[in-house]
Structure 1
Amino acid sequence: MTHHDADVAVIGAGTAGIAAERSARGAGARTLLIDEAFRGTLCATTGCMPSKLLIAAAGAAHDARGADVFGISVSDVAVDGRAVMARVRQERDKFAKSTRDSFDDLPDGTCIMARARFTARTELALDNGDTVSARAIVIATGSHASVPEPFEGLGDLALTNESVFELEDLPGSLAVVGGGAIGLELAQAMARLGVDTALFDQSETLGGAQDPDVQAVLAKIVGGELSLHLGVDVSAEPADGRVRLSWSGASGGERLFDRVLVATGRPPNVDGLGLDAAGLELDDHGVPVFDRTTMRCGDAPVFIAGDANADVPVLHEASSEGAVAGRNAARYPAVDAPERMPPFTLTFTDPPLAILGEGPTDGTIVGGASYAEQGRAKVEARAQGLVRLYGAAPDGRLTGAELFCPGADHMAHLLIRAIQRGDTASDLLEMPFYHPTLEEGLKPALREICKKTPSGLPTGRDLSDAPGA
């Protein structure tokens, strides 16, 4: 049994925890990084990277099937499910190893492999018998896949993002329950890999987009590749090695699936932390109440970052929150409250879905553009989707956007920076647009916003579209 003293102790070695430890150490603090396994970040092991590997395989199969539109004949597109899943795991393991290797670069004695729980506000007990005292503590314990009651009795027939990539082969049929980012991405990927796929959600909407036209196009495109059932309640039971799924609503029915992928949410990992001993105020879900600008929990020398706080569960936010939490923990009781980044989420469907900034409210100026006839998209035989840009009155300062179109994952970075800077639609129209590019498809939406402002369209530049733009 050993007692450890530190300025800052970080619980959890995922994206937020790594950023918190690095930030605290950079501010001059003596740090400890405590984790039960040091297996690597969720992104590398069960999230961003393995899902994109599966999506890449699905995209290759989809492109091969559609090559005839270019006069290229691919006579037989065969998907080797075992080879697909083997590559997913092989490349995923490389990403995860890279993260694990980074722990070797930390100062000796920084990493402690154990589970931690609070015994007081700044005291921890570890399950290896050690104890820890720190001036400040950062909770960065991440989240876990949830399997709600209707699916608890399915055993291995129920998959989550933490188990789906361990499949040795692709299933013949798959029900995906949950139409958020994880469900949408994996459902479309599985369908493109030849899996008979159906997607179910209690909500009438997909992916978090608020614009009804974006929702309609999203549902139409996704529904064209797989069976889509929205606004339904689902029940499930095992049936001779398969799953019998029943659902309600206008499209109600029942059918057998080989597996069910449950993508209904990822609750924070806060159970077992002994938060009562830390004296922290908890919300209705048992998560510490915190200031999202400082990451501080109430008036305690305790900070919380990343998925553990259930605020914005995306990697760049976890990294940013971890850096803020670590820096403030090192400087405690002096804490800074930096301005948060604008909301920014991407769903890697095809086409991608990007949701940026603030959604429309009363008085928002809206500009739209369809990609159904967009020049570069037509060249590439992927002319579908649309864009909605949101501006504030009276000058058309960009406040948000919803994009579901080819290239949305790249154009979103241009737009989120414009939102950060406070650019107007007129400012962006002054930017050069090379021809022919997908970015040109933004111009009609920008022009529409400008026309609804007192100053109108910018002058001194040819704002017409090039042929085929």
Structure 2
Amino acid sequence: MNRRPPVWDLLVVGGGAAGLVGAQTAAGLGADVLLVEQDRTGGECLWTGCVPSKALIAAAGQAAQARRAGTYGVSVGEVSVDFGAVMAHVRRSVTRIAPVDSPEALEQAGVRVLAGTLRFTGPGTADVDGVEVRFRQALIATGSEPLLPRMPGLADVEPLTNETLWDLHALPGRLAVIGAGSTGCEIGQAMARLGSTVTLVETGPRLLAREDPAAAVLVQRALEDDGVLVLTGHSAVAVRATTGQAPGSGVLVLDDGREIDFDRVFVAAGRTPRTHGLGLDALGVRTDRDGSPVVDRSLRTSNPTVWAAGDVTGFPRFSHVAGLHAGLASTNALLGLRRRIDDLNPRVTFTQPELAAVGVPTGSCGPRHRLLEWQHTELDRAVAEGDDTGVTRLVVDRRGRLAGATVVGPRAGETLGELGTAVRQRTSVLRMATTPHAYPTYNDGPWNAVIDEVRRRLAGPTTQRAIGVAVGLRRRWLDRGSVTTRRSA
């Protein structure tokens, strides 16, 4: 697309997951779209988040599996890890996926891409490195960045984040991890499996604070089995760099006075929106205290021609959510619609075992819901694979419709497509139970849970009376037919 209109229908700021989907959706609707990205298209998910972390986790999983091979009667000898080769695998994974999110791919989709730093200068105008850009509507999709706590001495040890971890050339012998959300747990376990001595520090009373407590306990046990020292209920209050040792090494001081020696420290203490210097005040866009644009359920800001989606907003920071929200925002902007987002938000913590969840939280069932549970010690596929640490927990409403789910186990995230669809469509446990599932699979967990619930309902006194009446009527009908047949004979 070589034509440059005097006024763009939609200006998209940021080329991460939200910006890519928002721009391509708008171009598909026939709009003139300009996407401005100051670094590289693909965003955090491609370069420093989802893709590299899952590649690292996969390599770590192979090392852990090799160490467990003896339990299956397979001898592999001593397991060694070439960290340089592991990181090469990570880079290959990123390189292979990158063309899908490239400026060339965007241009082929009808999106004009401009590299540079953007600042809004007024309603309908922006400056990109000295070049004026005019637009009718804008989509803010600038994403977020790691939040570094204000901690004495932290800056002196060159703390790692998900943006800088991938620059490592050698495996840290001792790694301190601050924060036990999904990122902290995933990286902590992966690095321990690759050979680091890992200490995971979390201020809250448990790890994965937003997830079902019973499910989080299973993840913590798995981390501890891999050698991670999990310290919950403790805050890191200071860092002291060590002299005469490799750069980045030091001591992490906890609130109880305990000191943790480390060779590197990895910070996973949350994220903050990237809006500094964007000039949102020039557009009259109201922001929260952290700088994120305030949006309504249709993703429109306080300026009716400006929209926002992805990590820059206050909604859950997942790539799939960012893409879905951006597509909705672009469609609303260009077609004048007011479609609203929902709160389904499927999510996965990619530890081993994985923890996957969607819909109503399973850890706090109210009086309007019922909790169903199936332990994976009774899951045939898990037993056959020698890894039955897991659980399926489902929430159903009073009418027997699925409202939420949490699954812990290998490839638990692969169940969320079915479970998310069932939650969104308010599918009944009876319909789920009568849908055939291939055997044996890990999807048998949710299936067995709903079958168990159907059997429980059938065993109720009212249902049993109705069944008894039906069986009795059928028996009398068959008996009459039998008598008639004998008389005829």
TM-score, structure 2 normalization: 0.87
Indicate if the aligned counterparts of 1:396 and 1:450 stay in contact, CA closer than 8 A. Answer: no
Q: 1:451 to 1:270 in 2, by over 3 A?
A: farther
**Residue in 2 that maps onto 1:403:** 407
Among 54, 57, 70, the alignment partner of 1:55 is: 57
**Residue in 2 that maps onto 1:176:** 177
**Residue in 1 that maps onto 2:261:** 256
**Residue in 2 that maps onto 1:323:** 327
- Alignment of 1:80 with 2:82, yes or no, is yes
CA deviations 1:353-372 (Å, max 9, x no partner) are 01110114421200111113
Structure 2 SS opposite 1:267: strand
Q: 1:307 to 1:210 in 2, by over 3 A?
A: closer
User: C-alpha distance in 2, partners of 1:416/1:455?
Assistant: 28
CA deviations 1:252-299 (Å, max 9, x no partner) are 62121000110111111111111111112222222221113x211025
Indicate if the aligned counterparts of 1:201 and 1:232 stay in contact, CA closer than 8 A. Answer: yes
User: C-alpha distance in 2, partners of 1:230/1:289?
Assistant: 33
Q: 1:380 to 1:273 in 2, by over 3 A?
A: same
- Alignment of 1:433 with 2:437, yes or no, is yes
Shift of 1:195: 0.8
- Alignment of 1:29 with 2:61, yes or no, is no
Structure 2 SS opposite 1:7: strand
* 1:59 counterpart letter in structure 2: G
Indicate if the aligned counterparts of 1:388 and 1:403 stay in contact, CA closer than 8 A. Answer: yes
How do 1:138-157 and structure 2 match up within 5 A?
Answer: 138-150=139-151, 153-155=154-156, 157=158
**Residue in 1 that maps onto 2:13:** 11
**Residue in 2 that maps onto 1:45:** 47
User: C-alpha distance in 2, partners of 1:196/1:427?
Assistant: 48
Q: 1:305 to 1:140 in 2, by over 3 A?
A: same
Shift of 1:444: 4.3
User: C-alpha distance in 1, partners of 2:33/2:300?
Assistant: 18
Name whichever of 306-315 and 142-151 sits farther off.
Answer: 142-151
Indicate if the aligned counterparts of 2:28 and 2:109 stay in contact, CA closer than 8 A. Answer: no
Shift of 1:421: 1.4
- Alignment of 1:301 with 2:305, yes or no, is yes
* 2:261 counterpart letter in structure 1: L
Indicate if the aligned counterparts of 1:8 and 1:31 stay in contact, CA closer than 8 A. Answer: yes
CA deviations 1:85-127 (Å, max 9, x no partner) are 122123223323442242342548x11111111111321122x
* 2:24 counterpart letter in structure 1: R
> Which runs of 5 or more residues in structure 1 are unaligned?
461-469
Q: 1:295 to 1:253 in 2, by over 3 A?
A: same
Indicate if the aligned counterparts of 1:267 and 1:310 stay in contact, CA closer than 8 A. Answer: no
Indicate if the aligned counterparts of 2:56 and 2:90 stay in contact, CA closer than 8 A. Answer: yes
**Residue in 2 that maps onto 1:246:** 253
User: C-alpha distance in 1, partners of 2:272/2:453?
Assistant: 39
Structure 2 SS opposite 1:136: strand
Name whichever of 444-453 and 282-291 sits farther off.
Answer: 444-453
Shift of 1:327: 1.8
TM-score, structure 1 normalization: 0.90
User: C-alpha distance in 2, partners of 1:185/1:262?
Assistant: 12
User: C-alpha distance in 2, partners of 1:416/1:106?
Assistant: 30
Among 349, 352, 355, the alignment partner of 1:350 is: 352
User: C-alpha distance in 1, partners of 2:458/2:152?
Assistant: 56
Q: 1:37 to 1:213 in 2, by over 3 A?
A: closer
Name whichever of 189-198 and 435-444 sits farther off.
Answer: 435-444
Indicate if the aligned counterparts of 1:136 and 1:329 stay in contact, CA closer than 8 A. Answer: yes
**Residue in 1 that maps onto 2:136:** 135
User: C-alpha distance in 2, partners of 1:336/1:82?
Assistant: 50
User: C-alpha distance in 1, partners of 2:41/2:152?
Assistant: 27
**Count of residues in Structure 1 that have an aligned counterpart in Structure 2:** 451
* RMSD between aligned residues: 2.4
Shift of 1:248: 3.1
Max Rg structure: 2
Indicate if the aligned counterparts of 2:241 and 2:250 stay in contact, CA closer than 8 A. Answer: yes
Name whichever of 384-393 and 3-12 sits farther off.
Answer: 3-12
Structure 1 SS opposite 2:432: helix
Structure 1 SS opposite 2:198: strand
% identity of equivalent residues: 32
Name whichever of 57-66 and 128-137 sits farther off.
Answer: 128-137
Indicate if the aligned counterparts of 1:366 and 1:448 stay in contact, CA closer than 8 A. Answer: no
User: C-alpha distance in 2, partners of 1:104/1:37?
Assistant: 17
User: C-alpha distance in 1, partners of 2:79/2:377?
Assistant: 27
User: C-alpha distance in 2, partners of 1:337/1:149?
Assistant: 40
Among 365, 369, 374, the alignment partner of 1:369 is: 374
Shift of 1:5: 2.1
* 1:40 counterpart letter in structure 2: G
User: C-alpha distance in 2, partners of 1:430/1:454?
Assistant: 14
User: C-alpha distance in 1, partners of 2:302/2:458?
Assistant: 45
- Alignment of 1:389 with 2:394, yes or no, is yes
Q: 1:276 to 1:195 in 2, by over 3 A?
A: same
> Which runs of 5 or more residues in structure 2 are unaligned?
468-489
**Residue in 2 that maps onto 1:340:** 342
Shift of 1:42: 1.6
- Alignment of 1:280 with 2:285, yes or no, is yes
